[in-house]
Amino acid sequence: MNLSVAGRQLDMTDGIKNHIESAVGSLQKFNLDIISTRVVASADEKNGRKGFLIEFTINLPQKNTVVIKQKDKDLYAAIDLATERAQKVLRRHHDKEVGHRVTKLSEVGNLNFLEPEDIEEGLEEDTDEIIPMELDLYKPLDIEEALDMIKETKQQFLIFNDKDDKTRVLYKRKDNKFGLY
C-alpha cells in the first residue's frame, strides 16, 4: 500500500506523521488490498475559530474510492475520528465480501434429486377433489351492511361490491362521518 501524507498550512512533525501512519496501518486488518491512501492534514481558521481538517482518500481495487473528511479543534482527535469512520466503511466492504460468498456445488454436499417417474407418481397420489367455494370478500353488500362492518372493525376504509355490481369505497372522515365513492 502506498501512503502519502501532506500538510497544508501546517508543519508536519514526526509525531503527527507517526500518528497518521499508525492510524492508516490499522486499516490493513480488513484484508481489502488497499492500493493507496492519501492523507491531507490542513489548518482551518474561519470566523476566528481555529481547527484542523483531515482528509483520507483510500483507493480500493474494483471499488469506488473512499473519501473521508473530518474537522475538529484538535488535530489528533480529528485523525482518530477519521480513522474510526474509515474503519467503519472498510468493515462494511469486508463484510460484504465475506458474507456474500458464492457456494460451490462441491461444497453443498450430497443432494438427493428425484427422478421424473417419482414426481409423476407423487402427483397421482396427491390429487384431491377440488370443491369450489365463494369467498365472503366478493359477495355483494348493501351500503348499510358495509357501514356496520366498518364500525365493527375500526377500519379507515372498506372496499366492496354493491348489489348493482359496482365497486364502492366506504371511508371514515376526520369529522367521524362516513364518505362513499
CATH number of 2-98: 3.30.160.100
- The predicted-structure confidence for 26-70, as pLDDT tens digits, reads as follows 999 988 889 999 999 999 888 878 899 999 999 998 888 999 999
Model pLDDT for residues 85-109, shown as the tens digit of each residue? 999 999 998 888 887 666 666 666 6
Q: Which of 99, 166, 167, 55 is nearest to 158 (CA)?
A: 167
Residue 106: per-residue pLDDT? 66
The C-alpha cell that represents 25 in the structure block: 496501518
Is a pLDDT exceeding 70 seen at residue 139? yes
Q: Which of these CATH numbers, 3.40.50.300, 3.30.505.50, 3.40.50.720, 3.40.50.150, describes 138-180?
A: 3.30.505.50
What distance in Å separates the CA atoms of residue 142 and residue 161, rounded to the nearest whole number? 9
Instruction: Determine the Cα angle at 30 with ends 29 and 35, to 5°.
Output: 95
Measured CA to CA, the distance from residue 95 to residue 54 in angstroms comes to 26
The pLDDT assigned to 104 comes to: 66
